[in-house]
Amino acid sequence: MIKNIIEVKNVTKKYGSFTAVDNISFIVKEGDFFSLLGPSGCGKTTTLRMLGGFIESELGDILINGKSMKNIPPNRRNTSLVFQNLALFPHMDVKENIIYGLKKRRISKKIIEEKLSRILKIVNLEGLEKRRVNELSGGQQQRVALARSLVIEPEILLLDEPLANLDKKLRISMQFELKEIQRITGTTFLYVTHDQSEALAMSDMIAVMNNGKIIQIGSPSEIYNNPSNVFTADFIGAGNFVKLKDVKKTEFKNILALQSLGGKIIRYKIRDTDSFYKSFSPERGITAHAEINNGSEPFIFFIRPEKIKILSGEDNSLNDKDTLNIFMGVLLSTVFEGPDIRLNINVPELGILKMEIKNEKKYHLFPENSKIQIYWEHEEGILFCPPAVP
């Protein structure tokens, strides 16, 4: 049975009147790649430093392997930290940088050599032991920092945006290398990043943070495909947000008619009918719910750009067009990104919708300002309902 290696329980950290971390709780399973994801200033690095013992919390507790870390200094926690600026020693070569922590622990020379040999192979630095840090590429320096932290065999490796200073191509390459290193070593990684694609590509689990709070925890697929709130939907990837004027039942229990502010009707299939009707009853439409909610927040329909398709003559084989939302729009602009093409389409009474399609020859035939028929399935998208306030 996989154990909980980290348990963060109702932790709060304040700096004067400013609350950096606000009553957060989460669990990390042993061997997981767990990411804290959020914008700058959301509290993710503060959380990481509390886990490492560099900062003490005001409230709550942090447990590692079931043991409270209250008043336990960093050198007595089986964790290691990789900094954003790497903090390598420029006057030392690769070998000296990597074994620094082992020598501090007074490990025998024989064991040091054995551990060094193994870690050099894992991080693909064999043959570079005598190189100075300034003679290495950015990616190689990153691997030296990883090797130095991993060679002491921590139970938990804490990583504070370690790829932030690399160029895009190298950063993508290092994402795959990091995930592979984590798989080979079996070390639990707790990773801090503001880069959504980075978190999605590497993580087993992601905690999305904003304003010091954790607002959703889930797998990359859950976070991307089923965001629980507007912030997560907007922060993770691209999306279209359509504000609604009314929500009505239809003749089908699991289908709603969502009316945009401009009057267009979007047919929406409820994923969990029983749960939905417990939290929101649209017999009288959105107005009744908005009255309870004091009209403070709008109802919003959200859909990812790649879920919207172009309806062409070749799509006549679609079995049941009654299950589609079909709209006519005008192509405003296109952005070519190699394998993908991004489109902006103005749909009257819905607004400007973002689309993302694959780079296929048939889609190059649409000039700007041409009319295009688009569609998406009823089950695509998410209806965000503001909470009713008694």
pLDDT at residue 34 is higher than 90:
yes
E-strand ranges in the chain read: 4-15, 18-29, 33-37, 59-64, 67-68, 79-82, 156-160, 188-193, 205-210, 213-218, 240-249, 255-260, 265-269, 300-303, 309-310, 324-337, 340-347, 351-358, 371-377, 382-384
pLDDT, tens digit, for every residue of 61-104? 999 999 999 999 998 999 999 987 778 888 899 999 999 989 88
- CA–CA gap between residue 318 and residue 279 (Å, rounded): 34
Q: Where is pLDDT greater, at 204 or 137?
A: 204
pLDDT at residue 189 is higher than 90:
yes
Of the candidate CATH numbers 1.10.150.530, 1.10.150.120, 1.20.1560.10, 2.40.50.140, the domain formed by 304-311+318-377 belongs to 2.40.50.140
pLDDT in the model for residue 330: 94
pLDDT, tens digit, for every residue of 134-162? 898 888 888 899 999 999 999 999 999 98
Sequence spans of domains, the chain: 31-41+69-235, 240-302, 304-311+318-377
Q: Tokens for 251?
A: 């003749």
pLDDT in the model for residue 340: 87
Helix (H, G, I), strand (E, B) or coil at 298: coil
CATH number of 31-41+69-235: 3.40.50.300
E-strand ranges in 109-187 read: 156-160
pLDDT at residue 295 is higher than 60:
no
Q: Where is pLDDT greater, at 58 or 84?
A: 58
pLDDT in the model for residue 313: 53
pLDDT in the model for residue 246: 86
- C-alpha distances in angstroms, 51 versus 20, 68, 157, 205? 15, 11, 10, 17
Task: Give the residue-averaged pLDDT of 211-221.
Answer: 97
The set of long-range contacts for 219-227, using a CB threshold of 8 Å and a minimum separation of 24, is: 224/200, 226/382, 227/302, 227/382
- Hey, how many other C-beta atoms are within 10 angstroms of the C-beta on 183? 11
Element (H, E) at 113: helix 109-122
Q: How many whole angstroms from its chain centre is CA 108? A: 42
pLDDT at residue 180 is higher than 70:
yes
- Hey, how many other C-beta atoms are within 10 angstroms of the C-beta on 95? 19
Those residues whose C-beta lies under 8 Å from the C-beta of residue 375, and which sit 6 or more positions away, are: 308, 309, 311, 324, 325, 326, 327
pLDDT, tens digit, for every residue of 117-138? 999 999 989 999 999 988 988 8
What does the DSSP 8-state code read for residue 232? H
Nearest-CA neighbor of 241 among 222, 260, 256? Answer: 260
Helix (H, G, I), strand (E, B) or coil at 85: coil
pLDDT, tens digit, for every residue of 229-267? 999 999 998 999 999 988 888 888 889 999 999 999 999
Among 135-144, 188-197, 269-278, the minimum mean pLDDT is found in: 269-278
pLDDT in the model for residue 287: 58
Q: Where is pLDDT greater, at 322 or 180?
A: 180
pLDDT in the model for residue 37: 97
Instruction: Encode burial over 196-233: b for 16+ CB neighbours within 10 A, e otherwise.
Output: bebbbebbbbbbbbbebebbbbbebeebbeebbebbbb
- Hey, how many other C-beta atoms are within 10 angstroms of the C-beta on 58? 10
Residue type, 231: F
Phi/psi of residue 74, nearest 5 degrees: -55, -40
Band of pLDDT at residue 280, cut at 50, 70 and 90? low
pLDDT, tens digit, for every residue of 309-365? 988 655 554 555 677 899 999 999 988 888 888 999 999 999 999 999 888 766 666
Is there a shared CATH topology between the 31-41+69-235 domain and the 304-311+318-377 domain? no
pLDDT at residue 298 is higher than 80:
no
pLDDT in the model for residue 248: 86
Element (H, E) at 168: helix 168-185
Nearest-CA neighbor of 385 among 222, 247, 269? Answer: 247
